A and B are shown apart, each in its own frame.
Chain A
Amino acid sequence: MAESRQVDVARSMPPPCVPSAMESAVNPASQAFKTSRWSTDEVAPHERFDYYANALSSALVPMSLERPPAQEFTAEMVVGDLGGMAVVRQHGTAHRCFVTSRDLGRNQERSFHLLVNLRSAWNMEHRGRSRMAPGEAILTDSAMLWDIDIGADYEFVHLKFSEHWMRQWLPSPGSLVGRRIAMDSTWGRALSAFIAPLSPAVLQHSPLPVALIADQVGSLLALAGQDMGGTTTAPPRGRADHALLEGIKDCMRQLCTSPTLTASDVAGAVGVSLRTFHRCFQRFDETFGTTLTQMRCVHALRMLESPLFRRVGVGEIARRAGFCDASHLCRVVRARTGLTPGQVRSGERVPAFNPETAEEQP
């Protein structure tokens, strides 16, 4: 069993932050920005894991940490807070960190995170699964679930952006979230190359104002987003709402199997207010709830009909599709197809399944 920690920031004390060399050498007020450093070297071996779990949760976002058993654990993190953007460097040994829906609930401020591991390949689960090569970047959204698995020694450049900052550079940050920014795209490569040297120490000694460096990151993100087919050309007027609804549905398709998905999760992910979100569904006579059930149902039916899933129980299929339990799945499948999950499995034809008409049913 891997050792794991879920840190309750509210109840535990923030870990002591070691004054960085720079901070102790010069008057802190004369620094360009505030730098904080945490290192497991500063505490006894048996305290290291808890210490770092605490550090991550208090310095970045509330999260849970897990490490491989019987292996030495070390980690170091330096955070330079520039205001709208924080530059973080992390290095250390293998671990897994992730957020649970409980962690998400404790997160008070939405932020976006751009992650690059300079040293090793790693796995990311965030709106889908990505295998990340060393040097490749990915953008994450703190309002959504994520799970990072780092199998080897790592060296991360981690940029944290406030939502305000991000929305000044990307028209809809959601379009870039969770997508591997591949090195074979021109701007993806330029973005990775630019952020690789960034560290709090480099910025403290930068010959340029830090605001200029932050702007650079912003426009490279915008260009990389454009490379990846982000929205650059306006759809004809009047179809904007339809495009938004399509954007929302795209996002929901990726998230619908999360059983705790709420309308505000999705609104947050696509970057619109909850009011705009519901109004958009209303305009097309749809609702968030029925659309979500519909999407889960599509997943469930696919699994029920697939020979690959023959050995997976109906309860498990319900769970994987995002339903709370088997009976909920049964009710939905029956309402939409007139069949039980068992009948669907045994090959009774599902009547031509039309998502449009299915949604109109109660």
Chain B
Amino acid sequence: MNSNQLAAPILRWSTDAVPAQQRFDYFADALGSAIVPMHVDGAGRDRFAAHMSMTEIGEVAVVHQLGLAHRSYRRREDISHSGEDSFHLIVNRTNAWTISHRDDVRLAPGEVFIADSRYGHDLSVQDGFDIVHLKLGCAWARRWMPRPEAVVGRRIGAGSAWGPALAAFVAGLTPQSLASAGVPSTVLIDQVGAMISLVAAEMGGHAVEVPRDQVSLRIRIHDCMAQRCGEPALDAAVVATALRIDEPTVHAALAAAGETFTGLLTTLRIDVSIRMLRSRAFRQVSVGAIAERAGFPSSSVLARALRRHCGMTAARLRLDADN
């Protein structure tokens, strides 16, 4: 975890900056630098306007685009100038739109589409658009989806269980909302990943069922402890009872992976504390109260744990999140 991370700057573009005749080209340039190289044209050259803002959270760029009818497309030469491969998750919050990308797809407002930069596209918005566009680094996408290709080029809409959850979540992510959210941006981006993997599992064609016999006992112990680490009295016996196994089994399962119960519990409590310390929503909650909520007996125990874990004080973590 990079706790030194500073709040990412927001970059902005607006066609207001140039005469009407140059707006399609200006927007194409902006798209090229923010997302991937492409061409923009359309019938309404005189009336065209578009505004865009972008911020980068690690390997994901969050782009918000507002504007009027146009067409954008990518040819072979655009693709060869695209640099690193990336995936693009697009939600138009207000209008229907169409895209050709491996297939012709028509999307309703609020539906999700995922594109792959290795293929061309031809996108049309007939009316206006209010789009949230997430550019996902290839490595990032592959950490959340075993096979991103399975979700590329398909409409992810109301027919799926997790599609609406992903769409509603992404619709809330703009550079501005990330900057003011009470939850750290990195946590939100991880959640996009989690939801994408739920959608991918659902759309994989076959149910990606994890046979529970194979779910390692260690993972179940981790899950249970992560859920309950705020309980100051949590110990191996409590976890054993919850999982209906005996206490020595808890210790043995952890020991097999070189972990200890108390070591793991401290790590989980530190993670929760760091999340609260970096969250705007917890700004009014004192460090002592954060320690208590995370399950530490006192703020001095939290302070020691933080110093050992990341060499930082609680105040420093807060300060960094503020910048």
Residues of A within 8 A of B (CB): 26-34, 81-85, 162, 164-165, 167-168, 170-171, 186-187, 189-190, 192-194, 196-197, 202, 204-216, 219-220, 222-223, 225-226, 230-235, 240
Contacts and interface: CB of A to CB of B under 8 A. Distances in A.
Q: By DSSP majority rule, is chain B's interface helix, strand, loop, or mixed?
A: helix
A205 B223 contact: no
B169 A83 contact: no
Contacts of B224: 33, 82-83
A186 B188 contact: no
Contact of A226 (B182, B198, B293): B182
22 contacts: A26-B212, A28-B244, A32-B215, A33-B220, A33-B224, A84-B228, A164-B295, A165-B230, A171-B281, A193-B168, A194-B169, A196-B164, A207-B198, A208-B198, A209-B219, A211-B222, A212-B194, A216-B195, A222-B183, A230-B182, A231-B281, A232-B280
A190 B223 contact: no
B161 A197 contact: yes
A59 B38 CA distance: 57
B281 A232 contact: yes
Interface stretch (B20-28, B203-211, B302-310): B203-211
B285 interface: yes
B262 interface: no
B276 interface: yes
A238 to B, nearest CB: 13
Given A83-B228, A202-B161, 7 more contacts: A26-B212, A30-B212, A186-B171, A190-B172, A210-B227, A219-B191, A230-B281
Contact of B226 (A33, A211, A223, A231): A211
A186 B177 contact: yes
A29 B228 contact: no
Please name the 3 residue pairs, one residue from A and one from B, whose CB atoms are nearest each other, closest first: A83-B227, A164-B230, A84-B227
Contacts, number: 150
Contact of B208 (A165, A207, A210): A207
A184 B305 CA distance: 42
Nearest to A161: B227
Contacts of A84: 227-228, 230
Given A28-B244, A84-B227, A207-B208, A222 B194 contact: no
A189 to B, nearest CB: 5
Contacts of A170: 281
B181 interface: yes
A225 B220 CA distance: 30
A186 B198 CA distance: 21
A189 B110 CA distance: 12
B165 interface: yes
B212 A204 contact: yes
Contacts of A206: 198, 210
Contacts of B285: 171
Contacts of B235: none
**Which bucket holds chain B's interface residue count?**
35 or more
Nearest to B162: A197
B183 A164 contact: no
Contacts of A233: 280, 283
Contacts of B279: 222
Contact of B210 (A85, A192, A193, A207): A207
Contacts of B209: 205
B46 interface: no
Contacts of A187: 172
B10 interface: no
Given A34-B244, A164-B295, A211 B281 contact: no
Nearest to A231: B284
B257 to A, nearest CB: 15
B39 to A, nearest CB: 32
Nearest to A186: B172
Given A27-B213, A209-B219, A226 B181 contact: yes
Contacts of B245: 29
Contact of B194 (A30, A208, A226, A231): A208
Q: Which of A162, A211, A219, A234 has the most CB of B within 10 A?
A: A219
A213 B194 contact: yes
A214 B194 contact: no
Contacts of A220: 169
Interface string B183-199: 10001100100110110
